[in-house]
Structure 1
Amino acid sequence: MPLRIEDVIHELINPVGQLETTVDVLEFGDPSAEVRGIATTFVASSDVIRQAAKSGANLLISHEGIFFSHHNNREAIKNDPVATEKRKLIEETGMAIFRFHDYWHRYQPDGIMAGLIEQLDWQKYLAEYHPASAIIQIPEASVREIAGHLKSKLGVPYVRVVGDLSMICSRIGLLAGYRGGGLMAIPLFEQEDLDLMILGEGPEWETPEYVRDAVQQGKRKAIIVLGHAQSEEPGMNYLAGVLRARYPGLPVYFIAEKPLFQII
């Protein structure tokens, strides 16, 4: 019996159960179409869509929204030339695109976090999972050394740091994606006795400014900011592995994008 797009979607949401409110929908495509191949990605950029089509996949699973907003407000850009050309590309390639954000974050453990920890090779150092964070207990290392480890394992050219690069750390809070805001991140420092917080992103004047004040007061605190995509791409690579195991014989690809920002 052929595997249909709706079958894959059902299996993806089944571990969580149907959410009443979610951004996770089939954005484009016929749910009854047979799946010839699957690609996963952090965000379905134009190049990612082209690469997915070239690979032979006809189902693209994207963690973030296609049209530049979390809630995918297409009305605001319905006449925008960039959005119009992107819709044309999707239609020409016949690509079905499923947004897989809320459900993946609600897996136990969070699929994005599990993938990040695996790519960092920190499974053996995992102390505790929280709904939106993980606590990591590593052998003592400096902030500089940890930053180098992150760059090497994630294949990124840079990270951003607030704090003393020579400070020795052991207990780390890990928050992927947009979880670096003050209300979520700052309390973890004291609640979990953290030396260092590794964030995807958040407002720069909240947690980073808290850490700056802490350092100016002589307290031992630091943060490393990876960037949203850099912190969540590993989770979508991890999803590709899950899908390969679930559908042996079906081509499944992970498609990464280049870092968004250039440092000049």
Structure 2
Amino acid sequence: MEIKNMTRPKELTVQEIILHLTEGITLPENTVDQLITGSPDQFVTGIVVAFMPTQQVIEQAIQGGANLIIAHESPFYNHHSATDWLVNNSVYTDKRTLIDQAGIALFRCHDIIHRFEPDGITDGLIQELGWTTYLSGRTAESDIVTFPEGMTVQEIAQHLKQRLGIDYVRIAGNSEIVCRRAAVLVGFRGNGPVTIPLLQNEQVDLIIAGEGFEWETPEYVRDAVQQGKSKALIMVGHAESEAPGMKLLADRLEESFPETKITFVKEQPVFKVF
């Protein structure tokens, strides 16, 4: 009987995955991207990619045999992952105990993916919406899309809900206008100093953003409509705007590491409307 030479799949370490993610990326000195838990030397048994490393995401990773979670946001309720203010908080300690006992390595991939060319989070949203062919320009914070036939703001809102699998979006301004140019901004980029220049300089009819201060851009849009200008704003939610980018990252990692089980875990929207 012929004995075939079986090659054992290469065991990857957490550090090798991190090096792959950071290849060609220059991070700021105050970057929030770091290995928050676990060891860079541990071998990877599986990877879960998520927007937010929630309790449920961690539980699913454990159930699926994954010991590396790559998440866009912090597990500990603040941007810089500080935990000194949570030391006696039972929600934090229970979550941290679960992570540590399961031997989970949790890597924050926030600044890295925003420095992909193009921005990996925005690119993921544009692809998820099926708007790649509508892309007509980019700014530092946004993608500009042009709809050749035009769409009403209501039609765009319905499209967003359908493609992102969400129950609601929030609209400010004139929802009945026909929109031909829109600026798409992910995450917490919906604030006035970012969006208002786009409405003026890029001549967009519509801002589509994750979230932002409610008394800046929405109030500008309200005044613009009162003055007879055709402007509108759609807020889809922070997670809802950025999760598609992490889904795209999971797909790309799967191509690069086909022998490793890589799963994107999508959480339910954190808010419900009553």
Q: Same fold (TM over 0.5)?
A: yes
Of 39, 46, 52, which aligns to 2:61? 52
2:144 corresponds to 1:144: no
Larger radius of gyration: 2
SS class of match (1:224):
strand
1:123-138 superposed matches below 5 A? 123-138=132-147
1:19-34 superposed matches below 5 A? 19-34=28-43
- The CA deviation string for residues 166-210 of structure 1, in whole angstroms up to 9 with x for no partner, is 110010000000000111111100110000000100000000000
Give RMSD over aligned pairs: 0.9
Check whether the contact 1:175–1:200 (CA below 8 A) recurs between aligned residues. yes
Q: In 2, Cα distance between the equivalents of 1:259 and 1:2? A: 35
1:95 is aligned to 104
Compare 13-22 and 58-67 and name the one that shifted more. Answer: 13-22
2:181 is aligned to 171
The two structures have a TM-score, normalised by structure 2, of 0.94
2:44 is aligned to 35
- The CA deviation string for residues 214-237 of structure 1, in whole angstroms up to 9 with x for no partner, is 011110000000010000000000
Supply the AA of the counterpart residue of 2:186.
A
1:176-191 superposed matches below 5 A? 176-191=186-201
User: Structure 2 unaligned runs (5+)?
Assistant: 1-9
Q: In 2, Cα distance between the equivalents of 1:165 and 1:19? A: 39
Measured after TM superposition, the shift of residue 130 of structure 1 is 2.0
SS class of match (1:40):
strand
Measured after TM superposition, the shift of residue 249 of structure 1 is 1.8
Supply the AA of the counterpart residue of 1:136.
V
SS class of match (1:173):
strand
User: Structure 1 unaligned runs (5+)?
Assistant: none
2:18 is aligned to 9
Of 210, 224, 233, which aligns to 2:220? 210
Check whether the contact 1:110–1:131 (CA below 8 A) recurs between aligned residues. no
Supply the AA of the counterpart residue of 1:128.
G
Q: In 2, Cα distance between the equivalents of 1:218 and 1:23? A: 43
Measured after TM superposition, the shift of residue 2 of structure 1 is 2.0
Q: In 2, Cα distance between the equivalents of 1:135 and 1:183? A: 17
Equivalenced residue count is: 264
SS class of match (1:60):
strand
